[in-house]
Structure 1
């Protein structure tokens, strides 16, 4: 039997490098990485085989956070060359250290420029999605200051683009304002008083997750527990 021919690895295939970073972060599969970073599996495939410059800065930030790295560290780890193990340097080769140092500095500058470019692209894309909010919100706020009798509900549609953008970034709210829920110390922060797990509390301010990571617990106020049956 002849062994099936396997195609050589593409020059842009970063699968092995990404797997190494995932192992260091305790992530066992690309599906789990997608879930932890709150990005699509297609975007994970783009990191493995596509140009990083085509990815949104926000996606790289979410992936780097899931991998316990900064965005620049992630880019550097993914873009480094996969060179075979080199033989020990002979004495004449030691004189090339200065050129290696210069090459390292050049790569550092290149990575910094790439990081800045991706950051600018992310900012431009975010601003484009927030265009209607930026155009109309402050005008509407000025009208309310001039006429406090204007119904506030007319302002709510202007917040929709911001809410959608935060949702696309993987922001998950904890509860709804004024909702009465069982107290959970992992998700709720008491503003005053005391409560035991399971006691009734009212949410006054939303909390948020970013993917699997807790950003802020929801702020809650304790409520008196209802009397047991038969109690006055």
Structure 2
């Protein structure tokens, strides 16, 4: 059976058109797939950049904290060294003479105490330098004040006359009690002395 030449060429043309249409459809979808792929990649890449910047900032903050901590430690060490030096300078006379005084007193127990008292003048100087004032005078009789005095006698009432055994100290600048004076109803026992040490409070 013979074929019609027109039908043959029509079939060829139809096949060619079908191939072109399919190729065009496939090719037209390629850029959309690439663009879609890029849209999926870009947010991940952007998020990675943000995380990297945050890590850098955190690392910088940690370095700054470490630097400030080291600086504070150095300043604290410097302040402590300055305080020790200034304190030693104020007490230099007492500290340098103290070992010799101890040796002399052991070898000469009858040495009058008045010969040693001048060594303690440096303590008065450092207390004045710090702004510390004594609370009361030794062996003075004063009205009991619980804000300034400390006693083991719980039944002592406010205003009752007591004797100062050991003076206390207060900061004259801050008006703060550093150490209360130790007081009692009776005078402390003083060996080999019959002298009365009661002093009226003024």
Q: TM-score, normalised by structure 1?
A: 0.53
Quote the RMSD (CA, aligned, Å): 1.9
What corresponds to 2:69 in structure 1? Answer: 108
Query: Would you tell me which structure has more helix in proportion to its own residues?
Result: 2
Which of 159, 180, 185 in structure 2 is aligned with 1:217?
180
Please list, as runs of the form range in 1=range in 2, the aligned pairs for 1:1-232 lying within 5 A after superposition: 91=50, 93-95=53-55, 96-192=57-153, 194-210=155-171, 211-222=174-185
Residues matched between the structures, number: 134
- Long gaps (5+) in structure 1: 1-90, 224-232
**Structure whose alpha-carbon radius of gyration is higher:** 2
CA distance, structure 2, for counterparts of residue 129 and residue 154 of structure 1 = 21
Q: TM-score, normalised by structure 2?
A: 0.61
Which stretches of structure 1, 4 residues or more, deviate above 4 A after TM superposition?
none
Offset, 1:138: 2.1
The answer on whether the counterparts of 1:173 and 1:209 sit within 8 Å (CA) in structure 2 is: yes
- Long gaps (5+) in structure 2: 1-49, 187-202
CA distance, structure 1, for counterparts of residue 115 and residue 155 of structure 2 = 38
- Paired residue secondary structure (2:184): strand
